[in-house]
Structure formats: C-alpha cells, structure tokens
Amino acid sequence: STVDVLVAGKGAKAAADAASKLKGVRKVLLAESDELAQQLAEPTAALVVSLAGGYDTIVAAATTSGKNVLPRV
C-alpha cells in the first residue's frame, strides 16, 4: 500500500525531497509559509483540515507535535 506525506514548515523542501524517496510514498505535499515556521498546532491543524477531504485516514507520529495537532483535526 502507499501513503501520501505532508511536510509542513518553513525551509522544509529538503525534508520533502527525502520523504519522496521513501518506499511506499505515493505523493509528498509540501506546505511552506511563515505561519508554519513555529509548528504551532492551530495553523498546522487548519492546513491538515484543508487537505483532508480526499483522505479516509490521517496519521501523525506519536510526538508532542503530532499529539498536539491531531485532536484539532
């Protein structure tokens, strides 16, 4: 099976390029903006919600950031 990966932040192109080379990754979505630079939960969650329409499952790493963003999605 394949997954799509969202890389969000500022100056995140290198991370997106690396993610695109991982086995099983179908597509990498790159979102870069000043608003995402601090990785605050609210703008990140708003971004995820805006992209979520075509997906039936959304997952994030069990990190502080992931645990802070996903409840807002």
Structure tokens that stand for 56 in this block: 């039936």
Average pLDDT for residues 59-70, to the nearest whole number? 96
Q: Which pLDDT value is given to residue 1?
A: 82
- 17 Cα distance to chain centroid: 14
Q: For 29-63, how does the pLDDT look when each residue is reduced to its tens digit (9 = 90+)?
A: 999 999 999 999 999 999 999 999 989 999 999 99
Note if the pTM is more than 0.85.
yes
Q: Which pLDDT value is given to residue 24?
A: 97
Strand partners, 4: 27
Dist. CA 50–CA 66, nearest whole Å: 17
- Per the prediction, the chain carries an average pLDDT of 96
Q: Is residue 22 within 8 Å of 3, Cβ to Cβ?
A: no
56, 63, 35, 55: which is closest to 47 by C-alpha? 35
Average pLDDT for residues 14-37, to the nearest whole number? 97
Structure tokens that stand for 33 in this block: 């903006």
